[in-house]
Amino acid sequence: MTTTKLTVLVDNRAADGLVAEHGYALWLESGERVILFDTGESKGLLPNSEALGFDLARVTDLVVSHGHYDHTGGIAPVLERAVGARVYIHQAALQPRYVLRQGKNIEPVRMPELSMQSLDRLPEERICWLTRPISMTEDIGITGPIPRKTTFEDPGAPYFFDQSGSRPDLIDDDIAMWLRCDTGLVICVGCAHAGIVNTAEAIMEITGERRIHTIIGGLHLLHAGQERLEKTVAALNDLQIERLVACHCTGDAAVDYLERQLSCQVLRGHAGLSLVV
C-alpha cells in the first residue's frame, strides 16, 4: 500500500505561526494524488498552505464533505490554482441552509456565493456528483450519502432549509473519505453530521474492513448531551479503534470526555498537525 501523509490545513486551533478559524481542511498526499478534503471558511487556507509549503496548484482532487460555509469558503482560490482538479461533491451541498444557534436567531450557513460560482464554471467532466460510494484509487474512497441507522446520533444542531425554520435539514449531503493502510482504515470526516458511528459502520460495510486505525476530523459533539456521548463512546470502544484525532466542531468538553472514556489514543487536532499512515 502507498504511504499517505495527512496534514490538517485549517482548524479552530492552530500551531504557532498558522491561522486558526472556525473551519476545517485536510491535505492528503498519496503517490501522485494530492487530495484536499474541504477548504475551511476563508481566512486560513492560503496563508497556512503557504506557511506549510503546500502548493494548492498541485491538488488533483477536491472533496467537499458537505455544503456549509466553514468547509467550502476556500473553493474559489483552490480551483483558480488547481486548474485540472476534479471535484467530488453531493448536489445537495448547493442548497440554502440555516442553523438555529443556542440563544441566537436563525443564521445562514450555506456555501458562499463565490464558491458556488466557481463550481458553476467548471466543465461537467470535472465534477463527480456523489450519489453512491466511489473508489478514487485502490486504497482511497468516498462514501457518498451515509445511512442514518443509530437512534442516538443527529446532525448536531437544529438545521433548516428555510429562514423560518419550518423545513428541517438533516444534511443528507454529508460524506466521508476512507484510506486503507496496513493496520486498517483511516476515516476522514468533515463534521460527521451523519454521526461518527453511522459513518464508521457505513465505511466498514463498503470496504469489508473491520479494523479502524484512525478517525480524523470534526465530530460535531459540541452540543451533545450525556446520553449521546456515552453511547458514542460505547460504540467506538466496541469498534476497537486505535486513534481518534478530534478537530473543528467536536467541542472542548466533548474532547475532554472522549479522552477520559475512550480506550484508544485521543489527539486534539490543530492546523499544522501531520500524520503518516
d(CA 115, CA 78): 10
Q: Contacts for 202-209 with beta carbons within 8 Å, 24 or more apart?
A: 202/143, 202/146, 202/147, 202/176, 203/143, 203/176, 203/178, 206/133, 206/141, 206/143, 206/178, 207/141, 207/178, 207/180, 209/180, 209/184, 209/185
H/E segment holding residue 255:
helix 252-261
Can you give the pLDDT at residue 104? 78
Q: For 78, list phi and psi in degrees, rounded to 5.
A: -65, -50
Residue 72 scores a pLDDT above 90? yes
CB 248 within 8 A of CB 189: no
Q: Is 31 left (phi over 0), alpha (psi -120 to 50) or beta?
A: left
- Read off the pLDDT of each residue in 252-260 and give the average, rounded to a whole number: 98
Q: Point out which residues pair with 140 in neighbouring strands.
A: 179
> Which pLDDT band, with edges at 50, 70 and 90, does 159 fall under?
very high
H/E segment holding residue 265:
strand 265-268
Residue 102 scores a pLDDT above 80? no
Q: Point out which residues pair with 25 in neighbouring strands.
A: 10
Q: What is the DSSP letter of 104?
A: S
Q: For 228, list phi and psi in degrees, rounded to 5.
A: -65, -40
List, for residues 35-47, the tens digit of each pLDDT value. Answer: 999 999 999 999 9
Domain count for the chain: 1
Mean pLDDT for the chain overall: 96
Whole-number percent of the chain with pLDDT over 70: 100
List, for residues 222-240, the tens digit of each pLDDT value. Answer: 999 999 999 999 999 999 9
Residue numbers of the domain that contains 162: 4-276
Query: The C-alpha cell of 126 is what?
Result: 470535472
Whole-number percent of the chain with pLDDT over 90: 97
Residue 120 scores a pLDDT above 90? yes
- Read off the pLDDT of each residue in 187-193 and give the average, rounded to a whole number: 98
> Which pLDDT band, with edges at 50, 70 and 90, does 101 fall under?
confident
Can you give the pLDDT at residue 113? 98
Q: SS3 for 261?
A: helix
Say which CATH number the domain at 91 has: 3.60.15.10
- Read off the pLDDT of each residue in 211-220 and give the average, rounded to a whole number: 98
List, for residues 193-212, the tens digit of each pLDDT value. Answer: 999 999 999 999 999 999 99
Q: What is the DSSP letter of 182?
A: T
Residue 218 scores a pLDDT above 90? yes
Can you give the pLDDT at residue 96? 96
Residue 103 scores a pLDDT above 90? no
d(CA 23, CA 27): 14
- Read off the pLDDT of each residue in 243-265 and give the average, rounded to a whole number: 98
List, for residues 162-185, the tens digit of each pLDDT value. Answer: 999 999 999 999 999 999 999 999
- Exposed/middle/buried for residue 13 (C-beta within 10 Å: 0-12, 13-18, 19+): middle
Q: pTM of the entire structure? A: 0.97
> Which pLDDT band, with edges at 50, 70 and 90, does 2 fall under?
confident
